Amino acid sequence: MRTPLTELLGINHPIVGFNRSPGVVAAVTNAGGIGVLAASMYTPAELDAQLTWIEEQVGGRPYGVDLLVPEKFAPGDPDDLIASLRAQIPAEHLAFVRDLLAKYDIPPAPGAVLHDEILAAFNPAGAAELLDVAFQHRISLVANALGTPPPDLVARGKAAGVVVAALVGQAKHAQRQIEAGVDLLIAQGTEAGGHTGTIATMVLTPEIVDLAGDRPVLAAGGIATGRQMAAALALGAAGVWCGSVWLSSAEDIANQAIKQKFLSATSNDTLRSPTRTGKPARQLRSAWHDEWAATGSPGPLPMPLQPMLVDEAWQRIDAAAEAGHPGGVALESFFVGQVVGSFQNIRPAGDITREMAADCERTIRALAGGLGPT
Amino acid sequence: MRTPLTELLGINHPIVGFNRSPGVVAAVTNAGGIGVLAASMYTPAELDAQLTWIEEQVGGRPYGVDLLVPEKFAPGDPDDLIASLRAQIPAEHLAFVRDLLAKYDIPPAPGAVLHDEILAAFNPAGAAELLDVAFQHRISLVANALGTPPPDLVARGKAAGVVVAALVGQAKHAQRQIEAGVDLLIAQGTEAGGHTGTIATMVLTPEIVDLAGDRPVLAAGGIATGRQMAAALALGAAGVWCGSVWLSSAEDIANQAIKQKFLSATSNDTLRSPTRTGKPARQLRSAWHDEWAATGSPGPLPMPLQPMLVDEAWQRIDAAAEAGHPGGVALESFFVGQVVGSFQNIRPAGDITREMAADCERTIRALAGGLGPT
């Protein structure tokens, strides 16, 4: 199948595979799509190692990276960033998280490593460090998941021949991205996993396509099968940006406890909540969200204070859930879109890619076959 | 175009036009789709007159009716229904609405006629009276917008050769409808106007299609153009159930004040709120919703107490808005989906129907043209 996306990136299938697992990224690229690594939870040194590994796997085929560069975030003292941010977390919030873990009897996780360094860098300066690493590698695409790109990103992308992409959830965000000069827009509907707005893919995609002029637009949110991919193309998208579907892939690094919860979830089991990152993000609904919604909850803090507040708690919950601890299983959650209801089994990411492309073609041919002759 | 829906109903375009305006219903039917009258805000006598008028316009072509039969509602004393329901409205709520109207300086509406008789009948017994009227006419389809159909509806439909349809927002609702024996399911995504759930059309449609077996499924929510219609067909739908798009039609009976607000709205200007009917329904966001969300709001009552509480207020707001009163314009709202952002102008409903069908075909042919030979 040829679309403006396959032409732009020299790929066979207009499918972007967004995931934090290097194995998924390599598998999607090697299956003829393009894998994009979610880089924001890596340190610069870790990112460097992951991109080196990916390049060893893909043998010259294209891949990309995705960063999280928020426009709004709690500022800290640049000379003492972590401590100055931690000092902004109220005692009430610390007590709430401590009591929540005690209520569910979640044991300590001896192996927990605080991600303060990574989380405190959820700002343009932190993103610039990751970008420096990314541009030292042979990336074909760099995407920003929140807000307009850092000022020099577009210029660096153009100089290096790297496609600069941005996720948008509203027309006004797309307008700002176009003015900033991005090459590729990703219209992300409310049904998507992770940070997302309130407008559905079915409405948002054609709206962004009409705004974007010659720029290709990808659809994101609600796309995990070839039928949904064909629907996205009908809406005018040049391809699809898929995130959640790879959580059902063998290469995904999520623990088995959350993968099992995903496999038994329905499309009604997600919600948008700011209680994990400080900004509304769609995730699997669990007892965690009930506790934050209950009377007595202090409510979430802004990014990056909220993720700093809950980072250790989530490592403990993940470890407890993985060990089959009932409290851990009750609280266990991760970012996922409404397509989680369609997960049937765990498959290789390359099979998912190829099957989606083949089913999309089959769907389009069947639709055309239902029309009379012109 | 031929689909299981066009075959089932003997129509040219797989487009259902749902609206409360008899003129829209007749125009969609006469353009080759099928118009469906929203019957729930009519008395039985009014419904009888409207259906007679529609039949005079459509000359034997098919049309349908849609009822609102809630499964959960505030029960009253059947011997004194209106008074027993009114007695359940707390003084705090009456005072809140009175103060809200005073704050926005909304004048009385001398012509306001309370709809207590209609609203108190938002229950299976009330729906049965409307159904009696509908079955005395030459209807081809009867749909229920909330919950499973009244026990004898399916049997009456089968006996009369009338297609029985139901709107669903979750797989478990669809399962109950299938067990009740409905002929046609309408998968209504969260982006739809009116009573709607939280799952997007892109995710819900294929889920319901897979459940429905041989029963045709229509997609609803987010569909106002031929591209969106083609996307719905790609998802496996046999056609589309459109509601909001007709609010931009010339035949729609909404006042000019709300039509102007619709024309200038974006897709980000709607919300799901129970403050009008007592159940979550998507509508244009206005100062009304800000007031109900503010501190001191008593929160909404259940159906039908909430619509009985706010009925006169909305007649006053509509009249004030129509007269250009600033408070009325600030509060003015109506049920509409996220597609409101795509409204460009007011057109005849028949033109909308024909254009949607033609653009859908063009979209499918273009998609197929982008594939190589088989």
In this structure, are A308 and A223 located in the same domain? no
In this structure, are A101 and A160 located in the same domain? no
User: Would the pLDDT of A73 be above 90?
Assistant: no
Residue B352, both tokens: 């909308």
Q: Please, which pLDDT band fits residue A127 given cuts at 50, 70 and 90?
A: confident
- Mean pLDDT for B22-26 is 98
Looking at chain B, which residue has its C-alpha nearest residue A361? Answer: B371
Domain that holds residue A45: 1-73+122-252+344-374
Nearest CA-CA partner of B18 in B153, B173, B159, B195:
B195
Residue B172, both tokens: 């478990």
Mean pLDDT lowest among A147-161, A311-325, B5-19, B238-252 = A147-161
Domain count, chain B: 1
User: Would the pLDDT of B263 be above 70?
Assistant: yes
**How far off is chain A from B161, nearest CA to CA, in Å?**
26
Instruction: Assess if residue B291 is contained within a domain.
Output: no
Please indicate whether, in this complex, the C-beta atoms of A225 and B231 are within 8 angstroms of each other: no
Please indicate whether, in this complex, the C-beta atoms of B364 and A234 are within 8 angstroms of each other: yes
Please indicate whether, in this complex, the C-beta atoms of B202 and A225 are within 8 angstroms of each other: no
Sort out which chain A residues have CB atoms less than 8 A from B235's CB and list them.
227-228, 231
Sort out which chain A residues have CB atoms less than 8 A from B225's CB and list them.
206
CB B364 within 8 A of CB B3: no
User: Would the pLDDT of B119 be above 80?
Assistant: yes
User: Would the pLDDT of A301 be above 80?
Assistant: yes
In angstroms, the CA A243 to CA B310 distance is 43
CB distance from B207 to chain A under 8 Å?
A: yes
CB B300 within 8 A of CB B278: yes
- Mean pLDDT for A126-139 is 92
pLDDT at B113: 87
In this structure, are A194 and A233 located in the same domain? yes
A104 vs A93, A269, A317, A326, CA distance in Å? 17, 21, 9, 8
Cα B96 to chain centroid, rounded: 28
Sort out which chain A residues have CB atoms less than 8 A from B231's CB and list them.
202, 230-232, 234-235
Q: Please, which pLDDT band fits residue B373 given cuts at 50, 70 and 90?
A: low
Helix (H) or strand (E) holding A261: helix A256-264
pLDDT at A23: 98
In this structure, are A51 and A82 located in the same domain? no
In this structure, are A323 and A335 located in the same domain? yes
Q: Which candidate in B175, B203, B204, B217 is best for mutational testing of the A interface (most A CBs within 10 A)? A: B203
CB distance from B264 to chain A under 8 Å?
A: no
User: Would the pLDDT of A145 be above 90?
Assistant: no
In this structure, are A238 and A264 located in the same domain? no
Instruction: Assess if residue B19 is contained within a domain.
Output: yes
Please indicate whether, in this complex, the C-beta atoms of A203 and B225 are within 8 angstroms of each other: no
In this structure, are A371 and A247 located in the same domain? yes
Looking at chain B, which residue has its C-alpha nearest residue A170? Answer: B268
Which among B207, B231, B338 has CB closest to A234?
B231
Sort out which chain B residues have CB atoms less than 8 A from A341's CB and list them.
171, 203, 207
CB distance from A12 to chain B under 8 Å?
A: no
- Mean pLDDT for B273-302 is 97
User: Would the pLDDT of B71 be above 80?
Assistant: no
Sort out which chain B residues have CB atoms less than 8 A from A344's CB and list them.
none
Sort out which chain B residues have CB atoms less than 8 A from A235's CB and list them.
227-228, 231
In this structure, are A42 and A11 located in the same domain? yes
Looking at chain A, which residue has its C-alpha nearest residue B232? Answer: A231
**How far off is chain B from A86, nearest CA to CA, in Å?**
31
- Mean pLDDT for B15-43 is 97
Please indicate whether, in this complex, the C-beta atoms of B170 and A202 are within 8 angstroms of each other: no
Residue A142, both tokens: 């760099």
Supply the ipTM of this predicted assembly: 0.96
**Segment 111-150 of chain A within 8 Å of chain B by CB:** none
pLDDT at B125: 81
CB distance from A222 to chain B under 8 Å?
A: yes
Sort out which chain A residues have CB atoms less than 8 A from B221's CB and list them.
200, 202
Torsion, Cα B68 B73 B78 B81, to 10 degrees, reads -90
In this structure, are A99 and A69 located in the same domain? no
In this structure, are A219 and A198 located in the same domain? yes
- Mean pLDDT for B198-202 is 98
A151 vs A44, A182, A215, CA distance in Å? 20, 11, 20
Average pLDDT, chain A: 95
CB A58 within 8 A of CB A9: no
Does residue B146 or residue A234 have the better pLDDT?
A234
- Mean pLDDT for A322-333 is 97
Q: Please, which pLDDT band fits residue B357 given cuts at 50, 70 and 90?
A: very high
Q: Please, which pLDDT band fits residue A280 given cuts at 50, 70 and 90?
A: very high
**How far off is chain B from A172, nearest CA to CA, in Å?**
10
Sort out which chain A residues have CB atoms less than 8 A from B230's CB and list them.
231, 234, 367
Cα B137 to chain centroid, rounded: 21
- Mean pLDDT for B124-130 is 85
**How far off is chain A from B71, nearest CA to CA, in Å?**
20
CB distance from A225 to chain B under 8 Å?
A: yes
DSSP secondary structure letter of residue A347: B
CB distance from B285 to chain A under 8 Å?
A: no
* Digit-coded pLDDT (tens) for A168-211: 999 999 999 999 999 999 999 999 999 999 999 999 999 999 99
Please indicate whether, in this complex, the C-beta atoms of A371 and B363 are within 8 angstroms of each other: no
Looking at chain A, which residue has its C-alpha nearest residue B236? Answer: A227
Nearest CA-CA partner of B246 in B5, B25, B13, B14:
B25
Residue A287, both tokens: 């007892």
CB distance from B306 to chain A under 8 Å?
A: no
In this structure, are A265 and A359 located in the same domain? no
pLDDT at A373: 67
In this structure, are A237 and A131 located in the same domain? yes
pLDDT at A28: 98
DSSP letters spanning B182-207 = -SEEEEE-TTSSEE--SS-HHHHHHH
Looking at chain A, which residue has its C-alpha nearest residue B227? Answer: A235
E strands, chain B, where?
Answer: 15-19, 34-38, 63-67, 141-144, 163-168, 184-188, 194-195, 217-220, 239-242, 270-273, 281-284
Please indicate whether, in this complex, the C-beta atoms of A206 and B198 are within 8 angstroms of each other: no
CATH number of the domain residue B208 falls in: 3.20.20.70
Does residue A40 or residue A276 have the better pLDDT?
A276
